[in-house]
Chains A and B, each alone.
Chain A
Amino acid sequence: MHIVVIGGGGVGCHVAREFSRFSDVVLIDHDPAVLESAENELDVMLLQGDGTHRSVLRKAEVARATMVVAATRSGAVNLSAAALSIREGARRAVARIDDASFYEIPAPLGVERNVLGVDAICASRLVGTELLRQVCALDATTAATFLGGTFLVAGVKVEQDAPYTGQSVDRLATEGAVVGGVVRRSRVLSTTDAQQLEHGDIVIIGGSPVVTSRRVRMLRQHQAGSAVIVGGGEVGEHLARDLAGLERRVKIIDRDRARCEELARSVSGATVIHGDGTQLAFLQDEQVGSADIVLAATHSDEVNLMACLLGRQLGVNHTFALVQQPSYVPVYDHLGVSGSTSGHEVLSAAMRQLLPDRSLVSSQPLGSVPAQIVELRLPARLSRAMRVSDIALPPDTRVLGSWMPQSGRFTPGRRTALHGGEHLLLICNDSTLRQLDKAVQKIAPARGALSRIRRGLLGQDGDEDSQGGRR
């Protein structure tokens, strides 16, 4: 596999390092000093030049690249470099565009497909969702996001006196929530088999991050409390919107007056406070100590760490931080911060999921039983019109639903018609994962020998994913 990364900053280097574990990587940057430091840290080929110049892209052989990642600070540079790469023949190009207002897709979705033939990736949304997942994980046995960050799946243990105990499982599946199954006595049961919720069950619930979080809290009888967000940047704004639907009271603190006014206009349901989140007196004044959670999401690691530590000092039980430098994550854990999310890691994981060759997009073990939640990508073309029930799925596989990456529309259940390139969300046993993968690959149309040879010669084998911009 050949991957070209444009921009040797924090994100670019992190992505290059992660990808170099399984692929050839060429890293392009125009600054020799950046390349010199990368030389000592990365096992990749370095190329000095401007990533928006076609001559440089050709030199990096983007024509045979499986993916081009444009990860400089500037969204405009990234978009043009990625679009040029597609025109030069790259199979897929991803552009990092941090400005959330650029996107024309519904909120939690972090990747917009086919903007000028390029996938635009929004760090703030992905990071916000990841922080929300960590907050949700406080009450859950397991919590993982799927389908481009739009879908949160969580397992919740049912206590003796929880609501819905003794009632039908299906009653949980309202307001857009989906019940994937029930883990009872080390077996994953379907909702019909489980019938009624019992004490000790683990219910697997999915839905948009806010919906899932709300269901989880309801089952755990977790009362809505208050949350404080330090840093009113794009991540903070995203978090404030989501948490407003979960908590009784949300405060968002920012140092910049103008930004605060902007936030007050755009975010409803949250109190916007102007001040410095690293000043103890200010935090005491704002009664931050009475909050249930503190989330620090500024651009500065020092501020985030300090805000979390001060929050703990004031008596907040759970603090969460956005981390700029991925290597700092263990330090946060060591200092007692409940959860930390590195933007670089979230971005590089999301980019990895966009690699066109893989049918297995991601998987998450359930923990208490040898089963996994699995996201699979269907081939770009299907052999015939079919439904989920037409795929030869291994026994004990539970289907949560299917998802179109282009529109971000999720359809629960197994009855809907499938399209090429669609993603499936399933629960399967550890032992049947490979079988499942094969069953999904089998539904691609059988290729004639001639077309296979032609594709082999042209080096386009496996070019399955729809790439509108190339036509």
Chain B
Amino acid sequence: MNYLVVASVSAQILVMLAAALMAPLGLATFDEDMAAMRGYGISWIAVVACASLLRYLGRNAPRELHRKDALGVVALTWIALGVFGGLPFLIEGSINDIPSALFESVSGFTTTGATVVGSVDNLSRATNLWRCLMHWLGGMGIVVLFVAVFPKLGVGGKLLFQTEAPGPMNEGLRPQIKQTALALWWIYASLTIAAIVVLWALGMPVFDAVIHAMSTLGTGGYSSRGASIGAYQDPRIDWVVSAFMLIASLNFGLFYSAIRGNWRDLWRNGELRFFLSINAVVIGTIALLILPRHADIVVALRHAAFQTLAVTTTTGFMTEDFDTYPELARFLLFMCMFMGGCAGSTSGGIKASRIYILLVAIWRELDSLVSPNKVSLVRVNGQTVAPRVLERVAMFVFAYMVLLTVGALSLVLCGMDLVSSFSGALACLSSVGPGLALVGPSQNFGFIPGAGKMVLCMCMIAGRLEIFALFALFRPESWRR
């Protein structure tokens, strides 16, 4: 890794973070909230100072960015985002200890939405804006935004993009990676604006509409209300948020081809069909299971759809506490936490396409046991999956399980029960947010000791960067020049 290159590129990404911090700073000034102004003002100065220092250190950096540098930039940037994002909480006084502030900010940028704050209703407006803005920036990825906005990086930009963007097979939408990144951000921003307008039209206050739209499209889950979306008690808002959660968890590349007139690609996409079918089955089952609690099937369906989508899209909003659902419903939702949304979306998890590829591969394996000479291929979306991709998918899923075990083990060591430990670690790794039992939707992660929070922070960043990018940093070869 060339430290100079990493410093100069990271400096530019931190400049974008500083620009983002202006939003809560501006709101705090508008609200004349002295504590928040101090918190965001000092943080802004700290980020700018750090960016200038890095810029100065990297002033003689060569222009070319290699694979190791891209890994370094993305992984280190994400760690820096966590640190600087949590700074305002500490200075403002909304969160009092360092691990909690770090957890809150990492959870924000990785779009997890797991919080340590007991009563979010008491937070300042600036802090609520910042929490959801972190979701929004982290959703499509601040590095992808950097590739889109800053001057042409060429192949270096492509490496950065691939390191941050999720999915086993990323194909470019446009010939140049800068344009691809720009197209993705355009779609993302337009959808966010659409969500803001619709929520506002349905009677949500403008501020709430803005932060919930950002939280929804980033599939984060932070809300300014303790009862999340359930606080509005409006079935129309429930449906609209469900719909936007679903949209945010689909492959944005498909939206791009739809805009260019290839509507049929949407339906022809195998991953999308698989994802929608699973959702439909889970929603149907849960609706039947919770029918006794509700007046009629429509209400049950609405709550079932909202809770299921909140989990499968890894958003983590709620209108009801799904931890109080029957065991089978809890089990189904727990399983959905593994999968997450589609590749190329803002959601986390293993991704529907990986699960789909593995299921098809298992089917092929069975086939080859019965008829060993038969040539059968693993095909997804009409394309044959190369053995190398298949290998990577299998390794990814295994690494996911290993990391889940490590995360759960650390929580067990902190004295938590098995269900809470596993669901909490999985909720962080898949960036869902709420888990079950002690870390259920109506609880928070505040009680976990500092060490446990740090392990969960690592899980969240690893899950967001699809595991390998973060752990490649731990190999000494990555640091060699």
Contact = CB atoms under 8 A, between A and B. Distances in A.
Interface string A336-374: 000000000000000000000000000000000000000
Interface in A1-41: 2, 20-21, 24-26, 32, 40-41
A43 B158 contact: yes
Contacts of B478: none
Nearest to B67: A40
A217 B152 CA distance: 46
B293 to A, nearest CB: 52
B444 interface: no
B326 to A, nearest CB: 48
Q: Which of A25, A26, A42, A45: most chain B CB closer than 10 A?
A: A45
Contacts of B157: 43
B175 A26 contact: yes
Contact of A24 (B67, B158, B175, B386): B175
Nearest to A42: B155
B155 A45 contact: no
B247 interface: no
B285 interface: no
A43 B154 contact: yes
A25 B158 CA distance: 14
A25 B176 CA distance: 8
Contacts of B386: 32
Interface residues of A, number: 13
A45 B174 contact: yes
B235 interface: no
A44 interface: yes
Contacts of A20: 154, 175-176
Contacts of B178: 43
Interface string B166-189: 000000101111110000000000
A41 B158 CA distance: 9
A45 B172 contact: yes
B140 to A, nearest CB: 20
A20 B156 CA distance: 13
Nearest to B157: A43
A24 B154 contact: no
Nearest to B179: A24
B174 A43 contact: no
A26 B176 CA distance: 9
Interface in A65-95: none
A25 B386 CA distance: 25
Interface residues of B, number: 14
A26 B179 CA distance: 14
Contacts, number: 30
Nearest to A48: B383
A43 B181 CA distance: 13
A45 B170 CA distance: 12
A197 B152 CA distance: 50
Contacts of A24: 174-176, 179
B190 to A, nearest CB: 22
B32 to A, nearest CB: 48
A20 B386 CA distance: 27
Interface in B173-218: 174-179
A24 B176 CA distance: 6
A2 to B, nearest CB: 8
Contacts of B176: 20, 24, 43-44
Contacts of A43: 152, 154-155, 157-158, 176-178
A40 B446 CA distance: 44
B143 to A, nearest CB: 16
A42 B155 CA distance: 6
B66 to A, nearest CB: 10
Contacts of A21: 152, 154
Nearest to A41: B155
Contacts of A45: 172, 174-175
Contacts of A42: 155
B174 to A, nearest CB: 7
B175 A25 contact: yes
B299 to A, nearest CB: 48
Nearest to A25: B175
A237 to B, nearest CB: 38
A21 B172 CA distance: 17
A2 B174 CA distance: 11
A53 to B, nearest CB: 17
Query: Counting chain A CB atoms within 10 Å of each CB, which of B155, B172, B177, B386 scores highest?
Result: B155
Contacts of A26: 175
Interface in B104-162: 152, 154-155, 157-158
A40 B155 CA distance: 7
A41 B154 CA distance: 9
A459 to B, nearest CB: 15
Nearest to B155: A43
A42 B174 CA distance: 13
Contacts of A25: 175
Contacts of B154: 20-21, 43
A172 to B, nearest CB: 45
A444 B155 CA distance: 39
Nearest to B177: A43
A215 B229 CA distance: 86
A341 to B, nearest CB: 25
Nearest to A16: B175
A48 to B, nearest CB: 10
Nearest to B159: A40
B118 to A, nearest CB: 48
A302 B174 CA distance: 39
Contacts of B179: 24
A20 B177 CA distance: 11
A45 B172 CA distance: 7
A452 to B, nearest CB: 26
A436 B176 CA distance: 33
B176 to A, nearest CB: 6
A45 B183 CA distance: 15
A2 B152 CA distance: 17
Interface in B405-457: none
A400 B396 CA distance: 66
A40 to B, nearest CB: 8
A42 B179 CA distance: 14
A41 B175 CA distance: 14
Interface string B386-416: 1000000000000000000000000000000
B434 to A, nearest CB: 39
Nearest to A44: B175
Nearest to B386: A32
Contacts of B67: 40
B261 to A, nearest CB: 13
Interface string A208-241: 0000000000000000000000000000000000
A175 B219 CA distance: 77
A230 to B, nearest CB: 35
B64 to A, nearest CB: 11
Contacts of B155: 40-43
Interface centre among B67, B154, B179 (most CB of A within 10 A): B154
A21 B152 CA distance: 9
- Residue from A25, A26, A41, A44 with most neighbouring chain B CB atoms (10 Å): A44
Contacts of A44: 175-176
B156 to A, nearest CB: 9
B178 to A, nearest CB: 8
B152, B175, B386 pick with most chain A CB within 10 angstroms: B175
A409 B175 CA distance: 39
A42 B67 CA distance: 13
17 contacts: A20-B176, A21-B152, A24-B176, A24-B179, A25-B175, A26-B175, A32-B386, A40-B67, A41-B155, A42-B155, A43-B154, A43-B155, A43-B157, A43-B158, A43-B177, A45-B172, A45-B174
Given A24-B174, A24-B176, A43-B157, 7 more contacts: A21-B152, A24-B179, A26-B175, A32-B386, A41-B155, A42-B155, A44-B176
Which are the 10 A-B pairs with shortest beta-carbon distances?
A24-B175, A45-B175, A43-B154, A43-B155, A45-B172, A43-B158, A43-B177, A25-B175, A44-B175, A26-B175
